[in-house]
Amino acid sequence: MRRVLVLALLSLVLPIATWADTITFGNQYGSISVLTTGITSTGSQLLSWDGFKANPNNALGTVSFVTGALLTGTLRYGGTFAGGTITSANGTSFDVTGIGSWASKLTGSKCGTGCALFTGWFVGPIDWTLTSLGNKNLTYVLSGDIYGELWNGRWVKGVTTQDIYTVNGQLNQGIGHIKTGTSTVILSPEPGTLGLLGTGLVGIAGIFRRKRIRT
């Protein structure tokens, strides 16, 4: 009977230890500035957020970001842009803002009109990878780790991948365009959940200890 109780406690506690929820969101369109001093997006359309999808010809909000300066390589052939650290953004940013009533819908009425859904920055190096080099059209992938705060105060970490295209003449002027972007952030257990996990493990340890003493 006691063994059954232990197994029941494990079935309740261990999923908490491995639990981690995610939010995935996507963006599309929007022109960007592509310079050796950094890449800047100021309003790509947020088309999906955690299962919500925008209606045709509409957007849920905007996605904006700024990288650090180009550290290695070249704009044309690919390289690495600077990111920040968890304790210091170092001038980078990655922000998601809801538009109008969508901000409230996306957060379960916990956020007002024009709410900041995610406010963060890049952490670590940001990869700038050339994926197609044509006579005229050029395509790239910008990818990196992000860290920041959700509208509800939860701190999360994740990754973003932005597909970008331009043409030779525009790249020379520092102009690019976002084709699509996909980002995912991971929610770690809250302190209260971790406390519950600790209490459960202590209880299980006590049961095993008493069993050893009686045997």
Same-domain check for residues 11 and 84:
no
Same-domain check for residues 144 and 205:
no
Same-domain check for residues 25 and 76:
yes
Q: What is the pLDDT of residue 63?
A: 97
Same-domain check for residues 84 and 9:
no
Same-domain check for residues 32 and 116:
yes
Please check whether residue 83 is in contact with residue 123, taking contact to mean a CB–CB distance below 8 angstroms. yes
Domain that holds residue 47: 20-188
What three-state secondary structure class fits 76? coil
Same-domain check for residues 13 and 58:
no
- Number of H helices and E strands in the chain, helices first, is 4, 12
Same-domain check for residues 210 and 158:
no
Q: What is the pLDDT of residue 163?
A: 98
Amino acid at 38: G
Please check whether residue 156 is in contact with residue 148, taking contact to mean a CB–CB distance below 8 angstroms. yes
Same-domain check for residues 67 and 101:
yes
Phi, psi angle pair for 166, to nearest 5°: -160, 180
Q: How many domains does the chain have?
A: 2
Q: What is the pLDDT of residue 100?
A: 81
Alpha helix locations (H) across 67-109?
A: 102-106
Q: Which two tokens stand for residue 80?
A: 């690495």
Q: Which two tokens stand for residue 45?
A: 């359309």
Q: What is the pLDDT of residue 102?
A: 80
pLDDT per residue, tens digit, the chain (215 aa), is 555 444 444 444 444 444 559 999 999 999 999 999 999 998 899 999 999 999 998 999 999 999 999 999 999 999 999 999 988 777 899 999 998 888 888 887 777 667 899 999 999 999 999 999 888 899 999 999 999 999 999 999 999 999 999 998 999 999 999 999 999 999 876 554 444 444 444 444 454 455 555 55
Please check whether residue 52 is in contact with residue 60, taking contact to mean a CB–CB distance below 8 angstroms. yes
Q: What is the pLDDT of residue 49?
A: 96
